Amino acid sequence: MGQGFLKAAAGHLRRSAVLAVAAAALVGGCATKDTGAEDVWDPLETPNRFIFSINRAVDTIALRPVAVLYRDTVPDPAQKGVHNAVTNLGEPITALNEAVQGKAHRAATTMARFLINSTIGVAGLFDVAKSMGLEPSKNDAGLTIGYYAGVEPENGGFYIMLPLLGPSNVRDAAGLVADGSLDPFGIAIYSIWGSTPYWIYAGSRVGATVVDTRVRTMYALDDLEKNSVDYYAALRSAYTQQRAEQIRQKRSPDAKAELERRDNLALVR
């Protein structure tokens, strides 16, 4: 997804995984209290809000209308195909992250999905693997950093509102750079055919991903916007909570630790 962008910007940032590691160390160093994402560490709030307002303007005049048009005019099977295809392109990186997190079996399943869907599934347009019982999963380098960071997953370093890409933090932005720079398709296209085909690939992948994601998030984001008094703060909290939840699931599928943590939160309330 967003990684396509950064990847584009960083055609030869091949070794930026190092950055991610450095960021992980930084994340670990930035302590925030675990308040359930009430107080997200946001030292850049003023510039972040400025970027957020630009993002919203771009969304209002361009992206959202395009997404609505796409949602209402493109046939459902085609929309599903686009979603499957962009997901499929991300599977190798998903598998890599799962492997780094020591989830060998899950990584193998993801790679099997990729091989099956890329061939029988016609370049990923159909999720054949799922009907064979190979369930999809989500993973990225932000989660990998969070997995190993050893801090409360609400603490991802300071909050960053990325231009165009939206809510993030040090951890997840580093993850985007790492994922993007390791994308096998990007690397292959860039090194075999050079930069123009690469930009075409990256641009269309990001474009498809963005529209697909915007359609899928529309209901929830409209609701959050309409029913919050400070949309920026509500989104910041929701983003942080959701990423934290994903990291907790990667850390331990067993929810005991999470329940105990919530007991403590309830007491603090």
Partner 1 sequence: MSQFASRRHVLRLAAGAAAIASTLSVPLAVHAADAPAATFIESVANRVIELIKSTTPGPAREAAFKKVLETDFDLNFMGRSALGTHWNGTTPEEQQRFLKAAASAEAHAYSERFGQYLGQTLSVGRVSPRPNGVSVVDSKLNQSNGQPISIQWEVRDEAGRPRITDVKVEGVSMVMTRRSDFNSYIQNHGGKVDALIAELESRAKQ
If binding is defined by CB under 8 A, does position 243 make contact with partner 1?
yes
Nearest to partner 1 of 38, 92 (CB atom)? 38
Q: Does 187 bind partner 1 (CB under 8 A)?
A: no
Per CB under 8 A, the list member of 55, 84, 118, 169 interacting with partner 1 is 55
Determine if 110 is a binding residue for partner 1 (CB under 8 A). Answer: no
Question: Are the C-beta atoms of 2 and 239 separated by less than 8 Å?
Answer: no
**All residues at 6 or more sequence positions from 204 whose CB lies less than 8 Å from its CB, including other chains:** none
- Show the CA angle centred on residue 65, arms to residues 48 and 225, nearest 5°: 45
Q: CB burial class (10 A; 0-12, 13-18, 19+) of residue 66?
A: middle
User: Of these, 13, 112, 187, 221, which contacts partner 1 (CB under 8 A)?
Assistant: 221
CB of residue 194 to partner 1, shortest distance in Å: 25
Closest CA to 96 of 168, 3, 209: 3
The Cα–Cα gap between 38 and 108 comes to 37
Binding site for partner 1 (CB under 8 A): 1-2, 5, 36-40, 51-52, 55-56, 58-59, 63-64, 67, 90, 138, 140, 142, 161-162, 164-168, 172, 176, 206, 209-211, 213-214, 216-221, 223-224, 226-230, 232-234, 236-239, 241-246, 248, 255, 259, 262-263, 266-267, 269
